[in-house]
Amino acid sequence: MTLVIYSAAGVTMWLMFPELRRIPRDACVAGGVLILAFALTLLHVMGGWPFTINQLISGTFIDLYKLIESLGR
C-alpha cells in the first residue's frame, strides 16, 4: 500500500507540475530508487512483508509450471 501511495503521488506530481520533467534523468532514477528503498524499509519496520523474496520466486514458478502443465493437457 505504501508503494502504491508513493507511486500515485509521484505520477500526480509529474502530471501537475510540468517543470518537474526538466529534472535530470539521473536525479529522477536515483530519487525513485531511494524512495522505493525508503518505502520498503518502512514496510519492514512495520512488519508488513507478507512473504519472503524466496517464497515469491518459488511460488511464482510453481504457479507458472502448473499453468504450463494445464495448458499442455
Residues that bind another protein (CB under 8 A): 25-27, 29-34, 36-38, 40-41, 44-45, 49, 52-54, 57-58, 61
Q: Compare residues 4 and 53 and give the one whose CB is closer to another protein.
A: 53
In sequence order, what are the residues at sequence separation of 6 or more whose Cβ sits closer than 8 angstroms to the Cβ of residue 59? 51
Q: Supply the minimum distance, in Å, between the C-beta of residue 69 and another protein.
A: 15
Q: Are 3 and 36 in contact (CB under 8 A)?
A: yes
Q: Compare residues 10 and 36 and give the one whose CB is closer to another protein.
A: 36
Q: Compare residues 16 and 56 and give the one whose CB is closer to another protein.
A: 56
The CA distances from residue 65 to 21, 51, 55, 69, 73, in Å, are 42, 20, 15, 6, 13
d(CA 58, CA 52): 10
Q: Supply the minimum distance, in Å, between the C-beta of residue 56 and another protein.
A: 10
